[in-house]
Amino acid sequence: CPIWIILNKEIYYVTRQRLKVNVYVKVHRDSPFLVCMDVSLAQSEVIDPNYLWIGPDGQTLKGDYVNLTETGKLMVHDFREHMSGPYTCTLTYRVFRNDMQVEQEKVKAYKFMVYAYREPDYTYRISVHFTTKECSLAANQQFFEELKKILNNLISYLTCHIIEPAYKCYSVKRPNHGLVDELFVVFEVNPFAPGWEAICHHVTPDCEDVTNSRVQKARLLIEEFFRRQQYILKDEYENIPVIHYIDHSFQVTRLDSCRPGFGKNDVIHNDCANCCVACDPGSYSPNNNVVCQTCTSIRIKYYGAKSC
């Protein structure tokens, strides 16, 4: 393991195996404590230690946004995208020979790569099937429009809505049944219906947790809606309608998107594989894509830039 972690990931040390560790800090949160010392030194006496922390801009760290303790621990407050980058600490200390006649100064440097990250924004793609009398039936389109209204009304109080709705009709041969015409319906459940910003930013300035919670609730409501269709058909209809839901056809897939300036890479950032991490130097993300693109221009504005 490249990192020694104690107190529920609150303190990060450099180990002998690696002189550089990756640390991931959620945007608008405080970083964990980074310790200017390796594990072996932390378990022994250190005489006259002196600590010098350098930030990503090459300047000595100081000010209200950092917490520097007398024992060399660093915490960065209210972490933002532009704070991503290398954090280097130089530790200077003294070593004496047993007879106290010889004094030696030793210097060690420790490097932490600190990345800002966000949770991805969730959208759910859902597909369901319905039987129909025939694919040319005019009522198919009317049914589809009515279904969209029902689903949107169901989740509107969560400021979620249905996007990318579509359907197609196919003739299907199922086991032990004849040929049946079916409507294949697909749509996405999205948490960014009009008015979402006002609700979201009223609660927190960093609102992917809020939007993700709402869209998860919306997905569960829609899943329950379709689960109930089969019971309604059995209990409330003597004659089954021409167009009706096919039991167990409900399928859902979560789609992740990263906000501009962020991307996902489970190889480079395997400690935060499901996070949207601020793009590395030399790359950028201009839109809600999960991949950071490599810059083609030589000049790069800043670490984690939205453009090059």
Of 177, 163, 94, 172, the residue nearest 135 (C-alpha): 172
Residue % of the chain over a pLDDT of 70: 84
Range 165-170 average pLDDT: 96
pLDDT tens per residue across span 185-203 = 999 999 999 988 877 766 6
pLDDT of 148 reads 97
pLDDT tens per residue across span 221-235 = 999 999 988 777 666
pLDDT tens per residue across span 97-145 = 776 666 788 999 999 999 999 999 999 999 999 999 999 999 999 999 9
The DSSP secondary-structure symbol of 193 reads: -
Q: How far is CA 275 from the centre of its chain?
A: 4
- Which residue type occupies 132? T
Distance, in Å, from the CA atom of 235 to the CA atom of 214, rounded to the nearest integer, reads 31
Q: Predicted confidence band at 26 (pLDDT cuts at 50, 70, 90)?
A: very high
- Residue of 10 and 184 predicted with greater confidence: 184
- Residue of 87 and 299 predicted with greater confidence: 87
Distance, in Å, from the CA atom of 61 to the CA atom of 89, rounded to the nearest integer, reads 10
Distance, in Å, from the CA atom of 100 to the CA atom of 102, rounded to the nearest integer, reads 6
Range 44-72 average pLDDT: 91
pLDDT of 10 reads 57
pLDDT of 299 reads 46
- Model confidence, pTM: 0.78
Enter the tokens of residue 111.
Answer: 């490097």
Of 218, 292, 295, the residue nearest 258 (C-alpha): 292
Mean residue pLDDT across the chain: 85
Dihedral angle computed from the Cα positions of residues 234, 239, 242 and 247, in that order, rounded to the nearest 10 degrees = 10
The DSSP secondary-structure symbol of 268 reads: T
Q: Predicted confidence band at 280 (pLDDT cuts at 50, 70, 90)?
A: confident
